[in-house]
Amino acid sequence: GVTVRFSGEPRIFAMSNQKGGVGKTTSAVNLASALAELGAKVLVVDLDPQGNASTALSIPHTADVRSIYDVLIDEMPFADIVQVSPESSNLLCAPSTIHLAGAEIELVSQVAREFRLRRALEAYLAEHPVDVVIIDCPPSLGLLTINAFTAASEVLIPIQAEYYALEGLSQLLGNIQMIQKHLNPQLRLTTILLTMFDARTRLSQQVAEEVRAHFPDLVLEAVIPRSVRVSEAPSFGQTVIAYDGNSAGAVAYREAAVEIAQRGEQSSQNKEQ
Ligand code: ADP
Ligand code: MG
């Protein structure tokens, strides 16, 4: 197996792409599970009102459950909402509920509306250290995503190897730059992950080549294949890592997790030098 060292500051990823259905949630939960398997303590923050990440991690998130909504709107301490996934004691989740659907509008009139997640998360992490936080963003560039970008150190963009893969990307990159300039100078776009890759089609190959040409240093070597096992795992309340650990999708997410962890080691060594 691979040994990876996790140390120092937590790495906080915003899993973002304003397009829906590109594999944000699937990648958030499967990378989280694979990183937990590597020995990292991982917290998934479900910032999408649909709550798909909570579902995939088997975390109750009915309307009565304390959720990220309570943290953002009512300043409930983060520690009061975090649950442990049955999949691993290393895998934590801050669930979302349907209440979050209203938060985008409710946040507008709040004090420090762009910093609510950052402040709550910082207070939590000071008492409950983790190695990795993955924030699963909704498919929009509104205040919820801005809260994720303000709280994060890194942006991870999943790109579906399909038609129009790069459409809307310049708007996303522009938003990241705006956040860097005005709200969070630490934020870096570090990682691009190609998802739903179909090796049989010329189109998937072309999209992959095009994305690699645009972002040579950011695209992970590992590519996530389109696979039924990946898409059916959430209906069993499991990640594909737990559901079918030898399937092609699980293997690819593990490889991606190792790359992400190793890149983190390299950059923390560079900082020490
Ligand atoms: P997003 O969070 O960006 O909206 P999701 O992760 O929910 O996207 O994925 C959209 C749909 O595609 C879901 O039904 C999911 O199960 C499916 N899906 C995601 N990744 C894969 C994959 N590698 N193979 C097959 N289906 C996938
Ligand atoms: Mg999603």
Residues 98-148 pLDDT 10s: 999 999 999 999 999 999 999 999 999 999 999 999 999 999 999 999 999
Average pLDDT over residues 217-236: 97
How far apart CA 15 and CA 180 sit, in angstroms, is 16
Lining residues, ligand 1, CB within 6 Å: 20-26, 52, 139, 195-196, 224, 226-227, 230-231, 249
Tell me how far the alpha carbon of residue 268 lies from the centroid of ligand 1, in angstroms: 32
- CATH number attached to the domain at 11-272: 3.40.50.300
Indicate which ligand has the atom closest to the C-alpha of 23. 1
Residues 5-49 pLDDT 10s: 788 899 999 999 999 999 999 999 999 999 999 999 999 999 999
Tell me how far the alpha carbon of residue 166 lies from the centroid of ligand 2, in angstroms: 18
Task: Give residue 266's pLDDT.
Answer: 75
How many CA atoms are closer than 13 Å to the CA of 42, on its beta-carbon side? 26
Task: Provide the whole-model pTM.
Answer: 0.97
The domain locations on the chain are 11-272
Q: If we measure between CA atoms, which residue out of 203, 147, 168 comes closest to residue 157?
A: 168
**What three-state secondary structure class fits 169?**
helix
pLDDT above 70 covers a percentage of the chain that reads 97
